[in-house]
Amino acid sequence: MIPIGERTLEADAIEEVCDILKGGGIAALPTETVYGLAADALNPQAVAKIFEAKGRPQDNPLIVHIAALSMLKELAAEVPPDAYALAERFWPGPLTMVLPKSARIPDATSAGLPTVGIRMPSHPVIRAVIERSGLPLAAPSANRSGSPSTTTAQHCIDDLSGRVDAIVISSDCTVGLESTIVSLAGGRPRLLRPGGVTLEELEEVLGPVELDAAVLGRADPQSRASAPGMKYRHYAPKAQVRLLLGSSQQYRAYLEAHAAPGAAALCFHGEEIGLPVPAAALGTPERPQEMAQGLFCALRDFDEKGVQTVYAHCPSPEGLGLALYNRLIRAAAFDIVKL
């Protein structure tokens, strides 16, 4: 494998990235959600390199990225009217639809499932790579499996140096959280993973949407994951994360009682003032998108600073807050304190 330092590419090196992917290689590419580790979704050998580089469990399916609706028809065995309605409203953008897969999708990509998750990203770099290569790209988050997702090229270098064929240097990811995943593969639409497209927005198009039990709770360890982010420990820094549910006053009182060397706070803007531990303040309850954009950076920064315990003030699980809550409960391995 070529040393990563020789294949760290600028965003305009599209043709070189296309050659890598068409040759069966893997590359870290920016999307509007998080950086993705991309390979030709139709090449089982290339897809296997993603799992190896990430240390990803083999039964964790991958999302396939496309750049045109014509590709959707080739990759899904059935495309219901609801899928076209969602595409018209949210594509290109941070929404993945789970559909019955066509014969073109190898089991390596779908983790043996009869379905496949498909989305059309909006970031110009990955869209250009898909369009010029003609390849649908399997692209899970470009991080080591289980750790916080990567939202900058430097994050990818930190996690994947020496493990991939190229990392594309580009603008940071604007959404900051992985895509929303909704299943349209049978029965009522079901939200499998919340993200930048909220449950409320989905229901404006689809009507009632079921909330999978794994969104707010632990998935059955014996079950098969229908989509990424449902079954395994995800998004977790090296530090222990504890979620605190309550008012700002209750949060502050808890930290004052539990302050210790190696502790830090993840909180909303304004709450960091006068706290007895170092703090990263992100957004407000009224502006959760700011917390979403900075969440994974903050968790990674805590690790760089040697933080051992992170006390996170958890947002209400509504709107975009549902996606933040979903990421934080998994980062905390469900260590939650109701104040």
Block residue for tokens 């469990």: 57
Please confirm whether the linkage preceding 80 is cis (ω < 30° from 0): no
Q: Measure the CA angle with vertex 225, ends 220 and 231; round to 5°.
A: 55
What is residue 234's predicted lDDT score, i.e. its pLDDT? 73
Angle between helices 199-206 and 81-90 (to 10 degrees): 130
Per-residue model confidence as pLDDT tens digits over 203-247: 999 999 999 999 998 876 666 666 776 655 678 899 999 999 999
Q: Say which range, 1-10, 29-38, 70-79, 278-287, has the weakest mean pLDDT.
A: 1-10
pLDDT, greater one: 186 or 72: 72
Distance CA 31, CA 235 (A): 17
Side-chain-facing half-sphere of 165: CA atoms under 13 Å:
17
Q: pTM for this one? A: 0.94
6 pLDDT above the threshold of 60? no
Per-residue model confidence as pLDDT tens digits over 255-275: 999 999 999 999 999 999 999
What is residue 146's predicted lDDT score, i.e. its pLDDT? 85
